[in-house]
Each structure stands twice: as structure tokens, then as C-alpha cells.
Amino acid sequence: MNIYDIAKIAGVSIATVSRVVNGSDKVSEKTRARVLDIIAREGYTPNVFAQGLGLNTMHTVGVLVPDIADLYMSGAVSYLEEQLHRSGYECILSCSGFDLERKHSHVQMLLSKKIDALILVGSTYAGSGISNTQTDYIREAASEVPVFMINGVVSGENIYCSACDDRTATKEAVRSLIAAGHKKILFLTDSGSYSAQQKMKGYQDALADAGLPLEESLMLRIHKNRIHMVRDELNDLSVSNALPSFDAVLATDDTLAVGAMKYALGKGLRIPEDLAVIGYNNSAFSISSEPELTSIDSRLEDLCKNTADTLIRLLSSGKDSEEGDLPAPEPLTLFPCRIVWRQSAVCSVDI
Amino acid sequence: MNIYDIAKIAGVSIATVSRVVNGSDKVSEKTRARVLDIIAREGYTPNVFAQGLGLNTMHTVGVLVPDIADLYMSGAVSYLEEQLHRSGYECILSCSGFDLERKHSHVQMLLSKKIDALILVGSTYAGSGISNTQTDYIREAASEVPVFMINGVVSGENIYCSACDDRTATKEAVRSLIAAGHKKILFLTDSGSYSAQQKMKGYQDALADAGLPLEESLMLRIHKNRIHMVRDELNDLSVSNALPSFDAVLATDDTLAVGAMKYALGKGLRIPEDLAVIGYNNSAFSISSEPELTSIDSRLEDLCKNTADTLIRLLSSGKDSEEGDLPAPEPLTLFPCRIVWRQSAVCSVDI
DNA sequence: AAAGACCCATGAAAGCATTTATGGACAGCG
DNA sequence: CGCTGTCCATAAATGCTTTCATGGGTCTTT
């Protein structure tokens, strides 16, 4: 059942059927009604490939995440998918892991599917400096379709980033820990992403402000991101004396924070009395744990809404109206985080 | 840059370029090398729409989940995506929520995108009886593409289900609770899915085997699936005296179980001494909570692997070899669950 | 050694299902 | 009668796959 069949039944040309289907242009009410009737009766749907050939779009956007089984990223995809679907776009999901090589190849694959835009969620190994080779594949992609980044920052033509102000938030959190009397604060991360770098800077800012020394050994990066693996890793480090002593933890993700809590509880430590713990992203883990976890809310929903809005606006702007009646989107939108105080660390300063 | 450009540069016909690109047929080594060289140099990629028009496929599969922010479903998607990507298929993800109407419309949308197959994850309101109207949309879809179900069971032509034996597993778990002396076991669910129904049957089986009465009030369905909402809902029910007393909980998802634990801890109850809790799916929540949660492992990874394997096999069987050298896939593959015993409930029987 | 059979690499062309630019027919109006 | 505007058909364009046909070469046979 294709457009020719419908046209034949209706006694019109395929062009007219096309016009009716696309709702556009001038077709007499009579013809339109008749054609719509036949379409409904015959159950005709335009072939997306043929449409794609003509229009060069299939109304899809590529969404690349390192790990969809991660609560932060699945949350992001959830928000994005909802917004985009509502505007008539569907998501082609690709999970690349954290490897640069694979990210690149996944992006190529997505581009080959003729996506209308590309969304990258988290974990971008960003860089100061325009010509960072680690992000070149992103700029390359941006030459074909607009690229949107959720909590990653890359500068370049046609790249739009939504991120949260991790540096300030982390600084505030650490400031509070220091004010509460903590001296040895472990910065725990599993990533070298832009976001993790910002968080580390915030951590260092706070130490510097308080006149505390910056100890390399207290900035720990482990390559694990599941609760038990984190716990075990800390145990291993502890056994081999590779773990410095600490009285507080700031982790760049709730998973890490919960892993650290598990480690501490295993050692018989009390939280927050013996060890204060602050996590990140305010995910469901922060309330599933016991004690519940103080966590920095990275405003995921807002980031995603902003991204989806911008994307829709950008893609539909070129359509009806040639060139922007609307102002061009900001290349970077920064959201302030908020710290959600729970039992694992108590607020000790006015924020 | 299209196939004509490449053909012109190489001094061959487009047919030859096509043959080179598709790796197939007989092309002389010399020609192949030259064409490949030019393709690489010019950065040519075949247009998927044109390819789709000819082949009627774009190598995508539709994946429909009610809620991608749920750990169980995001886990499923993670496994599926990996396997499918490796075999050259990409996932179009659609999140429908639990509403039947919306599921139907999302499936229609996916079909209109010319997916090669459809995967439905969880939460199918299944039915005994072939002509259940709640699942008609699935059979309808199956008339266009093969349909695969993860932990849902629907019978019909071209529908392949992978599920785990929830009934038996639940029965075993409840048997153990009874053997440990629990008399009032709360069955807690948020769903009326096929899977939830099976679990409830297993619960009833165990009670019946032990000669315990079946109390309606102990089979509680709440329409909440986030930890705090579950906790609050139980609190509300408790306040309004709508909650019977109970000394054990079997929940159809870890989220519910953790919510119940939160409720119990709020009441000052000890787990597992005052209240034993068993969850389902053995998700990360079962180890993020404190005490850690005994949970029934629904073999998600195996279900997904099986599904992906079957899908690939089915889709590639029709291609090279006309009709099955391989046997047709089973319409239903059932996996045995295993119970992972942790602190929230202790194993009291041999299993 | 010559001739016929056969095979292989390749080109020509049909088909896939749409959108859209162009232009024609017809009606209404001055 | 000519102009304008509405509605619609014709045809071109989109970029690929694949079938069929063909020319030239190789192998076999006598």
C-alpha cells in the first residue's frame, strides 16, 4: 500500500496525496476529506525511507551515553526521550562505554543513520583549549548536525552545552565539611571527565580558601563504578596501605559515595560521626542507603529540559521561517547545583 | 558525495561501487582496491534512506520500555543494546509509561520507522487466552515484524518470549519465610503485569502448601515505584489503619522492598529480626541498602542475551539461506531464578 | 591449433516511495 | 476578453540495490 495505490483509488495524482498527508499547501476541502478517508480506510502510512530521501530526515536524534545502566544517564535519557518524543523526534540510543575510540565509532554510526541532532550525555573528556584532540570527534560531528552536551563542555561551532556549576557546588560542600571540623577529606572519583575535573577544582578551591594543604593522596581516582566494586577497591587499597586516613568523603557520584559508606560500615565506623559522606547527583541511591546520603543535586531534569527545548527550537527554526526570528541558542548554559542535606553529612555553614 | 560521484572518480559504474561497498559479489581485486581507496579518501557513506528504500531495512530494532529510569529496564536495555550493536543493529528507544493506550501508539510509531524487530521489556498486562484485548496490539505488531518480549508472555505467531520462572522462585522464597516462622507475609507489588501475576501465584502456592490462610489484605498493590513514595504510601496506609500487621514482606521489585525497609526502620523495627524483607531483581538497590537486601535474581542478563541471540538468528536466517537450516526459535524460553540471600532475610530451608 | 563452451567482471537500467518545482486548466471578476 | 488565483497533474529529483545482458577472456575438446 503506497502513495500510488491511494492516488489511484482517490482518482488524484500522488502529488495531491502527498500534500494531503503533509497537511500543507492548498488542497480543496473536498479532495482532502476524500483522500484522508481512503488513507484511513486502507491504513496507509508513508514510507519513511522515501520520505527520508526527499526530506533528508527521519526525525530521529542520536543519544550517546557511556552506560545506560547508570542511574544518572538513564535518568537523562528518560527526560530527553519524553520531551523529544512529544515533539515528534525519536531517540536512537547508543552506549559507548568510556573509551574514546568507541565513542568516536558510535558517533560515526549515528551520523550514518542521518540523525537530525546528536546528544552526548556526560563523561566528556573535555579540555581547555580549542584544539583538544580528545574532543575533535565532537567538533567533527558538529559539522554535520547540531551537537548537544549534557554536563560536558566543549566549545565549537554548532555545539550547545548544558552543564551545572559543579565547581561552585563542590566548593560549597567541602567548605561545609571543613567548617564541621573535617581535616582530611577524600575526593573520590571514577572519571576524568570535564565534570569530574570541575568538581576537583571546587574541592581544591575550598581547601585553598581554608588554608588547608592539598594532599595528592587524598584525591583518589578508581576505575570502578559499581557499589561493591568500589567498596572492594577501597578495602584492597586499605589492606595494602595505599589508602590515606580520612574523616570525610566527597564523591563525584552517589554510587561511589555508597561504596565508600559500605567500606566504612564494614570497618565499624559510624556515619556521619566518624566519617562524613557527600555524594553527587542526588540519585535514588542517595535515599536507598542507610544512613541516607547527602548529595549534590546536579539538576539533571533542568539540563535535559533545556537541551530538548533548545534542540527543538533549533531544528524547527530553519523550517518555516528562513533564518532566526529567534535568537541563536547560547553555546553554554550553566545551572547552579543545590546540595541536598541528609544524614550522611550535616550542613554546618550558611549557604 | 554520493555513489555517482565515487563511480565517476573511479571510472566505473555505480553498480560496481555498490558491490564494493556491500563487500559482496565478484569484483576484481584491482577495482575493489581502487574504489575503496577513493571511498576512504572522499569520506563517502552510503545514504541510509536510499539503501532503506531498496532493502526495506535500516538495521534498527525498536525497544519499548515503560520507564528507562528504572534500574531493571535500563539494565535490560544496556544488555540488549550491546549485543545488537555488535551485530549491526541499533536501538530506537521508546518510553511509553504503563498506559496501554500510549504503549499502542508508541508501537505504531516504532513500526512506522520501519524497524526490523520489536522488543518489549517487562510490564505486559498479559493474559491467559489468546484473545486478550490488552495484548492485541502486540499480535498486531507481530504481523509486521518479529516481536520479542523480555519477562512478559504473550502467545501468538511471530512472538518470542524470554521470561523467568517467577512463580517457582517466589514460592521458594515464601516457603523459606514460612519455615523461618513468619506467619503474616505481605505481598507488595506496584504492577498487574504478567510477571507480577506469576509472583502472586507463587506466593499463594507457598501459603497453600503450608496450609496458611490467604488474606486479601496482605496482597497489597500500590501505584508507586519510587523508594520514598513507597515509604510514604505505607506510612499513609498505616496511619489510616488500612495496613494489616505483617512480619515479612515479599516485594515484586527491589525499589518496593527498599521502600518497605525505609518504612519499617522509620517505625523502629529491626530487620530482619522484626521484619524480614525480600526484594526482586537483585538490582543495585539490593546492595545499596542497609541491611543489604535478599533478592530474587531474575536473570536479566540471560534473558537479554537469549533475546538478542534469537533476534539476530531470526533476522539473518532469511537472508543468505532461504528458509531454516536452523530450527525455528522457541516461542517461550523460561529461565529459573535464583534467590540471593543477604541480610534482610535469612535462608531457612534447603533450596 | 582452432573452435566452441563457459565464466567473470562490469555496465545499463529498472525499481524503491516519496517531495516539490513547474505549469496548465478552469473559475471568477473586472 | 484578459487577468488573477485556486487546485491539481506531470515530471524531475533523491541515492541506492539488483537483475539482466554483454564482452572478453579462459578452458576444454577435437
Confidence check: pLDDT of B134 > 90: no
- The Cα B159–Cα A25 span in angstroms is 42
Q: How confident is the model at residue B325 (pLDDT cuts 50, 70, 90)?
A: low
Confidence check: pLDDT of B323 > 50: no
Give SS3 for B252.
Answer: coil
pLDDT tens-digit profile of A199-235? Answer: 999 999 999 999 999 999 999 999 988 999 999 999 9
**With contact defined as beta carbons under 8 Å apart, do B166 and B300 qualify?**
no
The grid cell for A71 is 542511574
Q: Could you check: is the Cβ of residue B9 within 7 Å of any atom of nucleic acid strand D?
A: no
**Topology at the third CATH level for domain A3-52:** 434 Repressor (Amino-terminal Domain) (1.10.260)
pLDDT tens-digit profile of B198-220? Answer: 999 999 999 999 999 999 999 99
Question: Which pLDDT value is given to residue B27?
Answer: 86
Q: Which residue among A48, A67, A74 places its CB closest to the CB of B69?
A: A74
Question: Which pLDDT value is given to residue A151?
Answer: 93
Q: How confident is the model at residue A318 (pLDDT cuts 50, 70, 90)?
A: low
Q: How confident is the model at residue A249 (pLDDT cuts 50, 70, 90)?
A: very high
Q: How confident is the model at residue B312 (pLDDT cuts 50, 70, 90)?
A: very high
Question: Which pLDDT value is given to residue A129?
Answer: 46
**With contact defined as beta carbons under 8 Å apart, do A295 and A250 qualify?**
no
Residue A130: closest CA among A165, A166, A159, A151: A159
What is the pLDDT averaged over residues B248-276? 96
pLDDT tens-digit profile of A110-160? Answer: 999 999 999 999 867 654 444 578 889 999 999 999 999 999 999 999 999
Q: Which residue among B75, B113, B262 places its CB closest to the CB of A48?
A: B113
Q: Say which residues have a Cβ less than 8 Å from residue B209's Cβ, sequence separation at least 6.
A: B171, B175
Residue A310: closest CA among A328, A336, A335, A337: A328
Q: Could you check: is the Cβ of residue B268 within 7 Å of any atom of nucleic acid strand C?
A: no
Cα–Cα distances (Å) from A152 to A194, A219, A311, A344, B14, in that order, read 6, 21, 16, 28, 42
Shortest CA gap B62–chain A (Å)? 9
Confidence check: pLDDT of A322 > 70: no
CB atoms within 10 A of CB A241: 7
**With contact defined as beta carbons under 8 Å apart, do A188 and A254 qualify?**
no
**With contact defined as beta carbons under 8 Å apart, do B225 and B70 qualify?**
yes
- The Cα A207–Cα A192 span in angstroms is 20
Question: Which pLDDT value is given to residue B319?
Answer: 59
Which amino acid makes up residue B300? L
Q: A118: which strand partners?
A: A62, A147
| Chain-chain contact of B113 with A60 (C-beta, under 8 angstroms) | yes
Peptide bond into B331 cis (omega under 30): no
Q: Could you check: is the Cβ of residue A22 within 7 Å of any atom of nucleic acid strand C?
A: yes
CA angle A165, A166, A170 (to 5 degrees): 125
**Average of per-residue pLDDT values in chain B:** 92
> Which residue's alpha carbon is at the shortest distance from the C1' of C14?
B54
Shortest CA gap B334–chain A (Å)? 24
Candidates B48, B51, B74, B256: best to mutate against A (most CBs of A within 10 A) is: B74
In the DSSP assignment, the letter for residue A98 is: S
Cα–Cα distances (Å) from B342 to A55, B276, B288, B345, in that order, read 56, 11, 12, 6
pLDDT tens-digit profile of B290-306? Answer: 999 999 999 999 999 99
Q: Where are the domains of chain A?
A: 3-52, 60-164+301-335, 166-299
Give SS3 for A277.
Answer: strand
What is the pLDDT averaged over residues B107-115? 97
Question: Which pLDDT value is given to residue A23?
Answer: 80
Question: Which pLDDT value is given to residue B193?
Answer: 85
Chain B residues 43-72 with Cβ under 7 Å of strand C are 50, 53-54
pLDDT tens-digit profile of A4-18? Answer: 999 999 999 999 999
Candidates A78, A285, A288, A289: best to mutate against B (most CBs of B within 10 A) is: A288
Question: Which pLDDT value is given to residue A130?
Answer: 44
Is-same-fold flag (A60-164+301-335; A166-299)? yes
Q: Say which residues have a Cβ less than 8 Å from residue B281's Cβ, sequence separation at least 6.
A: B71, B72, B253, B254, B295, B296, B297, B298, B300
Number of H helices, E strands in chain A: 13, 12
Q: Supply the pTM of this predicted model.
A: 0.93
Question: Which pLDDT value is given to residue B130?
Answer: 44
Confidence check: pLDDT of A25 > 70: no
pLDDT tens-digit profile of A160-174? Answer: 999 999 999 999 999
Shortest-distance nucleotide from B55 CA to C1': D17
Which amino acid makes up residue B307? T
CB atoms within 10 A of CB B313: 15
- Enumerate the residues of chain A whose CB falls inside 8 A of the CB of residue B84: none
**Topology at the third CATH level for domain B166-299:** Rossmann fold (3.40.50)
Share of chain A above pLDDT 70, in %: 94
Shortest CA gap A141–chain B (Å)? 13
Question: Which pLDDT value is given to residue A125?
Answer: 63
What b/e string do you get for A18-48 counting C-beta neighbours within 10 Å, with b at 16 or more?
A: bbbbeeeeebeeebeebbbebbeeeebebbb
What is the pLDDT averaged over residues B51-58? 94
Residue A187: closest CA among A320, A296, A265: A296
Shortest CA gap A107–chain B (Å)? 12
**With contact defined as beta carbons under 8 Å apart, do B14 and B4 qualify?**
yes
Edge-first strand listing for the sheet containing B248-251? B219-221, B185-189, B248-251, B276-280, B294-297, B338-340
Confidence check: pLDDT of B321 > 50: no
Chain A residues 31-60 with Cβ under 7 Å of strand C are 44-47, 49-51, 53-55
**With contact defined as beta carbons under 8 Å apart, do B310 and B87 qualify?**
no
Q: Which residue among B78, B228, B290 places its CB closest to the CB of A265?
A: B290
- The Cα A298–Cα A338 span in angstroms is 7
Helix (H), strand (E) at residue B176: helix B166-179
**Topology at the third CATH level for domain B60-164+301-335:** Rossmann fold (3.40.50)
Q: How confident is the model at residue A319 (pLDDT cuts 50, 70, 90)?
A: low
- The Cα A8–Cα A340 span in angstroms is 64
